[in-house]
Amino acid sequence: MTAKLINVEGSKIKIELTLELSRSMLDTEINIQKGLNEVGCIASKEALKYLDTDGSPLKIGEEIWKSKGEQPKEYQTPYGEVIVNRHVYQRSVGGKTYCPLEREARIIITSTPLLAKQVSSKMSGMAGKEVKNDLLENHGRKVALSYIQRLSEAVGSVVQAKEEAWSYAPPKEDSQIATVGIGLDGTCMLMCEDGYREAMVGTVSLYDSEGERQPTIYLGAAPEYGKKSFLERLEREIERAKNRYPEATLVGIADGAESNWKFLEKQTEEQILDFYHASGYLGALAEALHPNTVSKQKEWLTENCRELKHEKGKAGELLNLMKEVKEEKSHSKNLTEKLQAAITYYENHQHQMDYAEYIEKKYPIGSGVTEAACKTLVKQRLCCSGMRWKEKGAGIILSLRALVLTKERWSQFWAKLDQYGFPVEP
């Protein structure tokens, strides 16, 4: 098996690959992969050389930089490691050096952009050791775990640094957006130093005039005291949604956490208590009304959950019934406490429980999108067996993962990186 560079003519190259076939298709496929990786290395090396200067002096600002000659350096590509002789520049007074090729090729550490994209995408969904094994097993590419971690951290740092400056185009939706649903929630993860802390998740969900959910924008943040930076990021995303969909109604959907409502009340026109949290408090009332018959409890719950969802004023009726039942009947201490908790909950949130009206307006009534994001964004990646995190590492992974999960943003990020480059300055 041999790959050879046959010819280079301007921007075109010709490579010849010779493969030996086997009676084992699996062995042949492995040989094909190895051969194609050889071809990829040859092509990548020529592509890097193509982007280099010819060694002429460069004027950067008011200063002249001159080439110190071609110096060899190893670069990592999706196909393997290549060594390229490239021009390195320095000012006449000495000091730091500058390699124009690395800026032109969008080199990240020593990686070409496609390898950096592949590795950081995989790291958003898998632990480092799994990424290492995946690259070797499925790509025939041996990469050190430490390099995988450094490369992902570098990409994640750019994601974080450019979050405010780079405005991403909204996801393509199938129909006109009538409602923008805003949600935020927290979920615990294990930190190296502080034990379990609360990571934050934010969602900006788009809905059409029939109430059908279109794409959702995801945000994630590592545990942070006060949540200031997370709320600022979510506020920026909400502001972008307002500007993109000026005719849409902004609706805040959450459970009963007071801190979430303080934020949502300032940012949205309507606030809706998650229906499933509201209906969850009716179990105590069902038990009090039918203490000895589980089947009747279930029947009552089914009927009254339906009415809570579809009949106007039902939340107030249920609140009054809770108060009457609590005062009129003798209950166990545990049931009395559960009834009081339900009464307090309904008193605090009755104004956010007009579900029949919300359904008429085609608003979402559940915070399931945000709660699911707690699992898909945080739990599935950061809460696997034995995992502990430092704030920086958790933030990097959450930034990558949110970008990957948000439709079209991952490709847009790399398009911008390809356009503007990785921050490599002379």
Q: Is residue 75 part of a domain?
A: yes
Closest among 246, 253, 239, 272 to 178, alpha carbons compared? 246
* Domain co-membership, 121 together with 158: yes
Q: Are residues 186 and 228 in the same domain?
A: yes
The CA distance from 308 to 316, in Å, is 10
Domain presence at residue 181: yes
Report if residue 383 sits inside a domain.
Answer: yes
Which pLDDT belongs to residue 144? 98
pLDDT for residue 174: 61
> Are 129 and 156 in a shared domain?
yes
Mark whether 248 and 283 lie in a shared domain. no
The arithmetic mean of pLDDT across residues 166-180, rounded, is: 82
Q: Tell me: the pLDDT tens digits for 54-90?
A: 999 999 888 999 999 999 999 999 999 999 999 999 9
Q: Average of pLDDT values for 336-341? A: 94
Q: What is the share, in percent, of the chain residues with pLDDT greater than 90? A: 87
pLDDT at 93 over 90: no
Question: Residue 293 and residue 272: Cα distance in Å, rounded?
Answer: 33
Q: Taking CA 44 as the corner, what is the angle to CA 40 and CA 46, rounded to the nearest 5 degrees?
A: 125
Q: How large is the average pLDDT for residues 271-297?
A: 94
Clarify whether residues 295 and 329 are in a common domain.
yes
Range of the domain at 297: 277-352
Q: Which residues pair with 7 in a beta bridge?
A: 14
User: For 224-250, how does the pLDDT look when each residue is reduced to its tens digit (9 = 90+)?
Assistant: 998 999 999 999 999 999 999 999 999
Q: What is the mean pLDDT of residues 5-15?
A: 95
Domain count, the chain: 3
pLDDT, residue 423, reads: 67
Q: Tell me: do 106 and 64 sit in the same domain.
A: yes
Instruction: List % helix, strand, coil for the chain (3-state, nearest 5).
Output: 50, 25, 25
